[in-house]
Structure 1
Amino acid sequence: MELPFYHGNITRKTCEELLSKKGKDGSFLLRESESMAGALCLCVFFEQLIYTYRIFRESEDVPKRVFKTIKDLIYAYEKPNQGLVVNLRYPVRRPKPPRRRIRKSKVEGDGDYDGKRFISVFLA
């Protein structure tokens, strides 16, 4: 899922830490449910508490408010008075993976080995 606020398979504890760090009412993120396979959790920060709303794929035995996409769901709940404790206002983006930097080092001696030049590469 390519949504910047989708954090995938993170723990509830990690989720709470991320939202508490943001610390703004209406901050939210989306993660995989730990206890229900296939379900998602929309987690929302409000008045120092984290509220979790489960999102299910369509099923017969679940009360329905149906959305075609997650983007449609988020857009609907960004508006006030839609049934959440607070409307969604501040997406908590997942951290970008660390960039791998390549550093070149000096090569000792003349750098030749069987007529080929080598550069040492270190990944930081």
Structure 2
Amino acid sequence: MDLPYYHGPLTKQECEALLFKEEVDGNFLIRDSESLPGVLCLCVSFKHLVYVYRIFSVQHGYEIQTKEGHPKQIFPNLRELISNYKKPDQGLVVHLSNPIERTSCPSSRMQSELNDIYENSNQEYVDVLP
């Protein structure tokens, strides 16, 4: 996965430190979920809090957990998902405005594992919501 705002296995504390480095609403990054293997987290700063949205890999792309009552959408790739949520009123607490890019690339081993897990696979996933 070659996304500059994907940080891999980042802890919640490391994530918060990066998002709060500049106090701007709409800072965002993607990291691996600590509690659900194979799930990504879109982390967004707003009013000195970090909001976390789970991104699930589904049969034909990616689906994000948004506010209740907002229609679910499937995106063919993560770039399109992020592009959509850069627009206001798409179901997030605030639109995405400032990607927090990683300073180093994930290792080639990690990159290979990520490609196997996240790139439009035909594997079945179970959506687990809180």
TM-score range, shorter chain: 0.7 to 0.9
- Is the 1:33–1:39 Cα contact (8 Å) retained in structure 2? yes
* Cα distance per residue 1:46-100 (max 9 Å; x no partner): 01000000001117xx974200000000000000000000000000000136xxx
- Is the 1:22–1:92 Cα contact (8 Å) retained in structure 2? no
- Is the 1:74–1:88 Cα contact (8 Å) retained in structure 2? yes
Alignment match, 1:19 = 19
Alignment match, 1:41 = 41
Map 1:1-124 → 2, pairs under 5 A: 1-58=1-58, 64-96=72-104
Give the CA deviation at 1:41. Answer: 0.2
- Structure 1 runs (4+) greater than 3 angstroms displaced: none
Q: State the structure with bigger RCO (CA 8 A, min sep 6), 1 or 2.
A: 2
Amino acid across the alignment from 2:22:
K
Alignment match, 1:112 = none
TM-score computed with the length of structure 2 as normaliser: 0.69
Please tell me the root mean square deviation across aligned C-alpha atoms, in Å.
Answer: 1.7
Q: Is the helix fraction higher in 1 or 2?
A: 2
Tell me, in whole angstroms, the C-alpha distance in 2 between the residues paired with 1:71 and 1:57. 14
Aligned length: 95
- SS of alignment partner, residue 22 of structure 1: coil
TM-score computed with the length of structure 1 as normaliser: 0.72
Amino acid across the alignment from 2:34:
E
Tell me, in whole angstroms, the C-alpha distance in 2 between the residues paired with 1:67 and 1:96. 27
